[in-house]
Amino acid sequence: MERTFVMIKPDGVQRGLVGEIIQRLEKKGFTLVGLKMMAVSRQLAEEHYAVHRERPFFQGLVEFIVSAPVVATVWEGEGVVASARKLIGATNPLTAEPGTIRGDYSISIGRNLIHGSDAIETAEREIKLWFKDEELTPWEPAQKSWLCE
């Protein structure tokens, strides 16, 4: 089953949006199989954003991610990687569509509340990076037959 990694960034936690963000993914019909609040080490933040290492915003981004707790989550469902990205919205909150998380609740690219894996392979890498196998709990939602044919 397809999985994605979603992190509520420090601004999402500080602004009290953890419940709202989780609720949007839950209500859509995806299954939460991993959830933890954590202080992120510099090493983990740098590894997570390694693809952006050479970009001018990298140091500031890492500083931000380690500055306060985040909530790391793993979600399961058919098409969850691309769908979660749609629910999250465009990277720049000012161009993110209303109705998306970033579009509804943020105004600045450096404070855009949430991270979501951008492809299935990225999701696999990120889930391995953030969660031990035993921290993930697959389960069968009772409403499954009402969600999917």
What residues act catalytically?
A: 115
- Tokens 């983990």 found at: 44
In this chain, which of 2, 118, 124, 135 binds ligand UDP, going by CB under 6 A? Answer: 118
In this chain, which of 70, 73, 112, 130 binds ligand UDP, going by CB under 6 A? Answer: 112
To ligand UDP, the closest distance from the beta carbon of 110 in angstroms equals 4
59: contact with ligand UDP by CB under 6 A: no
DSSP calls for 13-43:
HHTT-HHHHHHHHHHHT-EEEEEEEEPPPHH
Compute and round to an integer the Cα radius of gyration of the chain: 15
110: contact with ligand UDP by CB under 6 A: yes
- The helix or strand, by DSSP H or E, that contains position 48, with its residue range, turns out to be helix 42-48
**Which residues, in sequence order, are CB contacts of 70 under 8 Å at separation 6+?**
7, 8, 9, 10, 12, 13, 37, 38, 40
Interface map 89-118 toward Mg ion (x if CB under 5 A): -----------------------------x
Q: In this chain, which stretch among 76-84, 104-112, 120-128, 131-139 interacts with ligand UDP, using CB under 6 A?
A: 104-112
Chain contacts with Mg ion (rule: CB under 5 A): 118
